[in-house]
Amino acid sequence: MSFSISKAAFFCAALILAGFSSCTPSEKFLIKQNIHSAGSKIYIRVLLEVTDSRVLISSESRMKITDQKSQEILYNGKGKSIYFQPDKVSSPVQIESWGSPLSVDKVPYRGMIEVHNILGKINIINVIKINEYLYSVVAGEIISTWPDEALKAQAVAARTYTYHHLLKRNGAIYDLDNTNNFQVYKGISVEKESTTNAVNATVDKIACENNKPIVAFFHSACGGITADDKDVWTGDNKCYLRPVKCNYCRESPYYSWEENLSLYEIRECLNKEYRGIGRITGIRFQRKDNRVSAAVISHTNGVLNLTGNEFRLLFPVKKIKSMFFLAKKTNNGLKLKGHGWGHGVGMCQWGAKGMAEKGADYIEILKYYYKGIQIINAGPEEYAGK
């Protein structure tokens, strides 16, 4: 069935959040708790989908739909599947279920679902406790059979990354989306017992610098030394993201790798992002701390300057696995010999595994890769008091 709500213009969370910009991070944190907490459990808002098509939301048990503006209960019943169409939703609604999870187009999620109509498109938002969100995220980010301490380190890194974005909220109706723009989130179906245990064992623990959550970047394998964030991305220069020697990730299948790149392939990939790329006549890489920091590409129509990371991301995901490579000319292009997989910044996941196997606990692992940090309890009272 279609669901129609003929109420006034939709509620916008931005109104409630107006004025946050002048607050300190801790103040923002407190204000958000007032809006999105139940007891000491903090809720976050994850954007699942933006679409101009209808979306099916269902539950096998009791489901309640509330108009968020008027607080009118629009439906309260059992075992329904309801389609939400953009032209039928004018006011945001909140959907709750008891006894079984809500499903969005048959994918089950913990927590509540909100449906908003933004400029004619349905926005589906999952409102969920941080820990329950992390059950899914951590399972998706690390191999669940790895040692417990490595899983716990990943859980704290993912929680910290989430808190960092919570504090950056600036009036949007969601905190993070479910893609690798933030952290990949696929709901209940990917959860694993071991990673859920790691999340629960580290509940409320986050990594901080000066009592603020760090930007807890992580990557698959550094290949021997992690990267300096300022050499990978422009912007902030964070002193806890400095190169760290790592002898722990040698078991990674990508600790060492080789790849051939033809000039044709390079030009094809460049042409997808940049206009007017001619025949490539030369490529020069600049290096810093073992990694390619810049690529200067000469072609028959000019010269293109890219950062090392921009160059890497031009290609399909596994083609250039890291910027930690040396290149040699071949007859038709380049042969790359490299180490590691990922941007190389922050915690090396295979390194965390290696450290855990040698007896390190999750705090030692985190402090090894993020220099100068403290692990604090982010429970509302404790964090608010810092």
Q: How far is the CB of 258 from Zn ion (least distance, A)?
A: 19
Q: What backbone torsions phi and psi does residue 230 show, to the nearest 5 degrees?
A: -70, -15
- Identify any residues that bridge with 207 across adjacent strands, giving them in sequence order: 375
Q: Site for Zn ion (CB under 5 A): which residue of 351, 356, 378, 383?
A: 351
Binding mask 290-329 for Zn ion (x = CB under 5 A): ----------------------------------------
Q: How far is the CB of 255 from Zn ion (least distance, A)?
A: 8
93 vs 153, beta carbon nearer Zn ion: 153
Does residue 176 interact with Zn ion by CB under 5 A?
no
Distance (Å, whole) CA 31 – CA 102: 28
- Burial of 308-334, coded b for 16+ CB within 10 Å and e otherwise, reads bbebbebbeeeebbbbbbebeeeeebb
Distances in Å between the Cα of 385 and the Cα atoms of 20, 157, 326, 382 are 19, 22, 49, 5
Q: How many residues bind Zn ion (CB under 5 A)?
A: 5
161 vs 218, beta carbon nearer Zn ion: 218
Burial of 299 (0-12, 13-18, 19+ CB in 10 A): buried
Closest of 8, 185, 197, 200 to residue 92, by C-alpha? 8
Q: Measured over all CA atoms, what is the biggest interatomic distance in the chain, rounded to whole angstroms?
A: 71
Q: How far is the CB of 339 from Zn ion (least distance, A)?
A: 9
Q: Could you tell me which stretch among 280-288, 315-323, 351-359, 365-373 binds Zn ion (CB under 5 A)?
A: 351-359
Q: How far is the CB of 350 from Zn ion (least distance, A)?
A: 6
Q: How far is the CB of 247 from Zn ion (least distance, A)?
A: 8
Instruction: Bin 372: left if φ > 0, else alpha if -120 < ψ < 50, else beta.
Output: left
Q: How far is the CB of 153 from Zn ion (least distance, A)?
A: 13
Does residue 348 interact with Zn ion by CB under 5 A?
yes
102 vs 348, beta carbon nearer Zn ion: 348
Q: How far is the CB of 175 from Zn ion (least distance, A)?
A: 30
66 vs 349, beta carbon nearer Zn ion: 349
Sign of CA dihedral 278, 280, 284, 290: positive
The C-alpha angle with vertex 236 and arms to 235 and 237, in degrees rounded to 5, equals 120
39 vs 359, beta carbon nearer Zn ion: 359
Q: Could you tell me which stretch among 83-91, 215-223, 264-272, 368-376 binds Zn ion (CB under 5 A)?
A: 215-223
Distance (Å, whole) CA 174 – CA 127: 9
Does residue 225 interact with Zn ion by CB under 5 A?
no
13: which 2 tokens?
């969370």
Closest of 260, 266, 316 to residue 295, by C-alpha? 266
333 vs 351, beta carbon nearer Zn ion: 351
81: which 2 tokens?
């599947």
Q: Say how many CA atoms lie within 13 Å of 59 toward its Cβ.
A: 22
Q: How far is the CB of 249 from Zn ion (least distance, A)?
A: 3
CB 75 within 8 A of CB 82: yes
Q: Tell me if residue 368 falls in helix, strand or coil.
A: helix
115 vs 222, beta carbon nearer Zn ion: 222
Site for Zn ion in 237-266 (CB under 5 A): 246, 249
Q: How far is the CB of 370 from Zn ion (least distance, A)?
A: 14
238: which 2 tokens?
């964070």
Does residue 55 interact with Zn ion by CB under 5 A?
no
Does residue 222 interact with Zn ion by CB under 5 A?
yes
Q: Could you tell me which stretch among 116-124, 219-227, 237-245, 280-288 binds Zn ion (CB under 5 A)?
A: 219-227
Site residues (CB under 5 A) for Zn ion?
222, 246, 249, 348, 351
